[in-house]
Amino acid sequence: MPELPEVEALTAYLSERLTGRVIAEVRPVAISALKTYDPPVTALAGRTVGPVVRHGKFLDIEAGGLHLVVHLARAGWLRWKEHLPAEPPRPSTRNPLALRVRLEGPDGDGFDLTEAGTKKGLAVHLVRDAAEVPGVARLGPDPLAPDFDLARFRALLGGERRRIKGVLRDQSVLAGVGNAYSDEVLHAARMSPYKLAADLSEEETARLFEALGTTLREAVERSRGLAAGELKAEKKLGMRVHGRTGQPCPVCGDTVREVSFADSSLQYCPTCQTGGKPLADRRLSRLLK
Ligand SMILES: [Zn+2]
């Protein structure tokens, strides 16, 4: 799933290509991806694209007073096309195309929103104000916002009785951090994902805040200037523990381990993060009982 750094890079990439251009046509293909119907997405035709911005993991393309707000979810993606065919795309179960936006001009360039797999989560909204999208309205502060400082971070964690791993990826606490970057931030902070947020000492909170900013900024930096098609591979390459179960930790050489967490799994390094002790896996202990 694309998280803050990838959506940030995608926003910059699209901004360069879309702003000032006129939308010729919008074709919805996978109707299930459309979460709003008034105004219809076809109302974008003839409008000039303004700013392209990010809210957490949401992409927001403004055009003539309307906002196309997209959440790519687990398997959604955006593909830029220099030449889109003029004939309408045919919906099919094997075709991952969900929505096509073609721009005016001789080339017929534009983009496709696609979603692979059977679990559909891609969400496309067309609204007059991005805050009309419930997922956007719920978002907590953006960790890369200029006014997001240690005091604000400390206030978010105070009295929070959940495990820090779950808190970091809760979009209503912090906007844009998901399963992958929360693993990376905790590894950079040398902190157990199971630690209760409210139990963090002043020093630990400061260390985590530092790791959060550094990890995200480095990832944004790596992704900057990359084409939409290259972002997923870049995200994978930059990971130190996430998705690297069984591989050596690049910091200490210990083996990266995995435990189930909430609806997925998390990866961590025992030596760097949990004093060398493997975390108890609830999934595993249930099986053994
Ligand atoms: Zn390590």
pLDDT tier, 284 (very low <50, low <70, confident <90, very high otherwise): low
pLDDT tier at 289, thresholds 50, 70, 90? very low
Indicate the pLDDT class of residue 231, thresholds 50, 70 and 90. Answer: confident
Residues 187-203 have a mean pLDDT of: 97
Lowest mean pLDDT among 23-27, 84-88, 257-261: 84-88
DSSP code of residue 34: B
Distance between CA atoms of 15 and 21, rounded to whole angstroms? 10
CA distance to 3, 53, 131, 264, per residue, from 67 (Å): 20, 10, 10, 32
- C-alpha of residue 256 to centroid of ligand 1, in Å: 7
Q: How far is the CA of 154 from the centre of ligand 1 (A)?
A: 26
Taking the chain, what is the end-to-end CA distance rounded to the nearest angstrom? 33
Q: How confident is the model at residue 52 (pLDDT cuts 50, 70, 90)?
A: very high
Please compute the mean of the pLDDT values over residues 219-237 and round it to a whole number. 87
Distance 188 CA to ligand 1 centre (A): 9
Please give the model's pTM, rounded to 2 decimal places: 0.92
Q: Is the pLDDT of residue 59 over 60?
A: yes
Considering only CA atoms, which of 219, 220, 200, 198 is closest in space to residue 208?
Answer: 200
Q: Evaluate the omega torsion of the peptide bond into residue 39 and state whether it is cis, within 30 degrees of 0.
A: yes
Q: Is the dihedral of CA 156, 217, 240, 228 positive or negative?
A: positive
Q: Any idea which of 33-42, 126-135, 260-269, 277-286 has the lowest mean pLDDT?
A: 277-286
CB 199 within 8 A of CB 159: no
Q: To the nearest 10°, the Cα dihedral for 55, 53, 205, 241?
A: 90
Helix%, strand%, coil% for the chain, nearest 5: 35, 25, 45
How much is the pLDDT for 227? 79
Instruction: Name which residue leads in pLDDT, 272 or 234.
Output: 272
What are the pLDDT digits (tens) for 4-32?
999 999 999 999 999 999 999 999 999 99
pLDDT surpassing 70 at residue 88: yes
The pLDDT value given to residue 95: 73
Q: What's the pLDDT at 283?
A: 65
What is the CA(257)–ligand 1 centre distance, in A? 10
Distance 236 CA to ligand 1 centre (A): 18
Report yes or no: 104 and 22 within 8 Å, Cβ to Cβ: yes
pLDDT at 230 > cutoff 90: no
> Could you tell me the distance, in angstroms and rounded to a whole number, from the CA of residue 194 to the centre of ligand 1?
16
Kindly report which listed range (55-59, 84-88, 140-144, 171-175) carries the lowest average pLDDT score: 84-88
Q: Which residues pair with 80 in a beta bridge?
A: 111
Helix (H, G, I), strand (E, B) or coil at 148: coil
Q: How far is ligand 1, taken at its centre, from the CA of residue 184, in Å?
A: 11
Q: How far apart are CA 137 and CA 69, in angstroms?
A: 12
At 73, list the tokens: 């979810």
CA of 265 relative to ligand 1 center, distance in Å: 18
